[in-house]
Amino acid sequence: MASGLQCPDKHTSMNVEAVLHMKSGLGESSYAQNSSHQKKSTETLRSLVMDSATLVYEALRPESFTVADLGCASGTNALGVVEAIVRGVGEACRGRGPSSSSPPPEFSVLLNDLASNDFNTVFARAPEVAGRLKADAGAVVFLSGVPGSFYGRLFLCRSVHLVCSFNSLHWLSQVPAGLRDETNKPLNKGKMFISSTSSPAVPAAYLRQFQKDFNLFLRSRGAEVVSGGRMVLSMLCRETEDYTDVKMTLLWDLLSESLAALVSQVSCMMPFRLLSVVSSCRLLVATDRSDPCVRKQNGSLGQEVRWCGGAGTARAGCGGRLRRPVLRAERTGDRGGGEQGGLLQPGLRADVRRQPEQRRRR
């Protein structure tokens, strides 16, 4: 879970950011017990994350090393990534041999999600993880939780060396504006996603929202990441050009029908419109430079975006073939101004990779 949703349309405005979250706790139906798919996905990126962390450390050699995980949710996946990063940097310190080895830096690990996320469950494992890293790798690790939407500032200026975000950036900050006509009638009535019956205005509205959100994400991180710092981002995407490919929408069709059946039994159980953006995870995330969104980001933020990975794909449970591109970005310097406390123009150079082919069919 990465960010809250708000429906900006008349009569349906609601700050979902304050209430929406992954299922808390450790029970049978909790996110912690039902996030093995995300775990596997993150594990395939482990070496890439370790490489990025090591590169930043080698380049900057900071006394302390700060890592941020955006959209940590309430499971254990985030702490697994933390362990990989700490061990990777620790090995880099020891790798120079006894004569030139250096002590590892102190690590600050900032675990972010919405304020409604179940941080208590994350923190319950924190002492164990910190203790293990101290015992095994001699690393001093300080864990903290940072509540808030990553579509905005979260950390102090120039304070983070490495930003990671896995399976989160396909969540938009809110249901897009523009999903009602001039008479305030819903354009996508009866659907919670971009379907074959949606008017062209619907995918256009989602695209605008993604552009706005991702722009703000980059500007925020641009202010927070130190010069020479890096980002590793992964997100779900569609592989086909067709927004309404049934392979992409089958899951949402089934979910939509189930929710409709529930609502017919319990009136106003859930605001449908608020769930619409779940479809954005496949429909609107930039996948390559032919995507209008990526071109827009290129133009406005001066990023260099290129594919440099293989043609790996993952097969999703719904039968669709999903791309899961990885965005690696390096902050190359302070090119922008901006007042203190405001948002700075980022100098981010992005490097988009497709995820390495996954060996296991899910």
**Nearer to a second copy by C-beta: 24 or 332?**
24
Two structure tokens written together for 55: 């590169």
Choice from 37, 101, 136, 156 touching a second copy (CB under 8 A): 156
Smallest gap from Cβ 315 to a second copy, in A, equals 36
Smallest gap from Cβ 53 to a second copy, in A, equals 17
**Nearer to a second copy by C-beta: 41 or 108?**
108
Choice from 79, 92, 154, 179 touching a second copy (CB under 8 A): 154
Span near a second copy by CB under 8 A; candidates 144-152, 186-194, 285-293, 313-321: 144-152
Span near a second copy by CB under 8 A; candidates 47-55, 109-117, 206-214, 348-356: 109-117
Phi, psi (rounded to 5 degrees) for 171: -85, 125
Two structure tokens written together for 212: 């706005």
Residue 106 interacting with a second copy (CB under 8 A)? yes
| Tokens 């590892």 belong to residue | 104
Residue closest to 188 by CA, chosen among 171, 170, 201, 207: 201
Q: What are residue 351's DSSP bridge partners?
A: 328
Q: How many residues bind a second copy (CB under 8 A)?
A: 42
The answer to whether the CB of 122 falls within 8 A of the CB of 78 is yes
Two structure tokens written together for 309: 């990975």
Pairing type for strands 321-323 and 160-166 reads: unpaired
Residue 341 to residue 223: CA distance in whole angstroms = 9
Residue 23 interacting with a second copy (CB under 8 A)? no
Residue 25 interacting with a second copy (CB under 8 A)? no
Binding mask 36-75 for a second copy (x = CB under 8 A): ---------------------------xx-x---------
Span near a second copy by CB under 8 A; candidates 32-40, 79-87, 142-150, 173-181: 142-150
The answer to whether the CB of 6 falls within 8 A of the CB of 16 is yes
Residue closest to 322 by CA, chosen among 207, 194, 198, 235: 235
Residue 218 to residue 52: CA distance in whole angstroms = 18
Q: CA distances (Å), 336 to each of 140, 329, 345, 347, 348, in order?
A: 34, 17, 4, 7, 11
Choice from 44, 108, 173, 174 touching a second copy (CB under 8 A): 108
Binding mask 120-139 for a second copy (x = CB under 8 A): x--xx-xx--x-------xx
Interacting residues toward a second copy by CB under 8 A: 17-18, 24, 63-64, 66, 103-106, 108, 110, 115-120, 123-124, 126-127, 130, 138-140, 142-148, 153-157, 159, 339-341
